[in-house]
Structure 1
Amino acid sequence: MDITGQTALVTGANRGIGRQFVLELLDRGVSTVYATARRIEALEVDDPRVVPLHLDLTDHASVIAAAAAARDVTLLVNNAGISTGASLVTGDLAEIHREMDTHFWGTLDVVRAFAPVLAANGGGAIVNVLSALSWFAFGPASGAYGAAKAAEWNMTNGIRLELADQGTLVQGVHLGAADTDIMSGYDGPMIDPRDVPRASLDALAAGSIEVVVDDWSAMVKASLAGDPAAFYAQLASMAG
């Protein structure tokens, strides 16, 4: 996909990686970016090509209204997400549901609403921002988030197959920690959040269906071919 002249929609565009996607898309010459958020007054990008649009992934009516308002979209970036810190065994079950409702059901709802829009506009592309935690677990505080991201990862694989006939490229983007609000309090190494849209859009131009943004994600992915006991022993050693 040549980004120049495309019409994009980015979920969770008011901060973090979503905001960086909006900025990078503008730099690469899109004609329009629908910048969506639950609170559009929080959007800070001042550019005539940016169209603020209300979208709440957990509100089906909101998703349908956004798809009706943005009928010219050719690139859908599913970035919106949350991190509740809920553990799977003892955490608040409502918070675990909220993780899944956002990352899996909410993202799938957006895909289902915009798939006909993309088909009508020639196929286009979908980018799902995932995580290295799609592939492993790291402590109780990431239990619900990791499970939801794992579900979103295989959902990404599934919709890729289902949307191939309409010419829609579906890309999954994996990263470890980026220096954003959602990672506040994390004291490990973090990448520049703008590295994520740069890597994603470069790969989109090459037709790549998966992007592994950082060394941490690459290490985790490589471990999947081996004995998980060895990987988790290495992880425990790294954590001290």
Structure 2
Amino acid sequence: MNYSIILAGGVGQRMRTSGTPKQFLEVFGKPIVIYTLEKFEACPDVDKVIVACNAAWIDHMSNLLFKFSLEKNVTVVPGGKNRQASIANGIRQIRQLGGTDDDIVLVHDSVRPLVETAVISENIRVAHRFGGAMTVRPAIESACITEGDVVSFADFKVRDNTYTLTSPQTFRLGVLTDIYSKYADGVLPETVLDAAMGCSYLGSEVHMVKDASPNLKITTPEDFYIFKAMVEYEETKSAFGL
């Protein structure tokens, strides 16, 4: 079985909205989280979806699933106090559904609605083969890494070898369970921010899935309007048969 955990527990403080978490903001009458879930619904390789939702918005989330006819393969669970706790809740639900160590679990941000189904499928393929996969976007500009305000030559990185991390991140359930049990036990430091970092910290390899598409994470008002413009553009293309 291939499961997906969709993280929808955030409150969206950087969006400066009046109390509505960013994943529930609507674009042309449809919440962002629904755009995201429709991508996983459309992927034939995904069997079940778990939404780790802001606890105060669970009823609203359930109503949206019914309204947009997505409730068949989706289960909603409460999100945790942070990303790690939300993923742990999702893992627990998958175990209750009968998930085994060799099953595959994708972890994806609810506010990345532009993820392509081909990227989802490739994550599953890579995780089946190697145990762990992370989606990355090749850098389109030069980068440097430095701890201060002064840059030395060694701080500049070759662009061809530089990537930004997006999502989904995908692992066998047994691997993911081990990572998050070590989060709970305090084995992993707070600087380990996600499953890919946790896996590599524990000494295992994570294989990259390279994605050049605009897998935008909607974090700021500017991101919201970029996504809105992209949706409008795609609808206009479709209307004209382009």
TM range (shorter): 0.3 to 0.5
Q: Return the structure number with greater relative CO, CA threshold 8 A, min gap 6.
A: 2
Report which of the two has the higher share of strand: 2
Normalised to the residue count of structure 1, the TM-score between the two structures is 0.37
- What is the TM-score with the length of structure 2 in the denominator? 0.37
The structure with more radius of gyration: 2
More helix per residue = 1
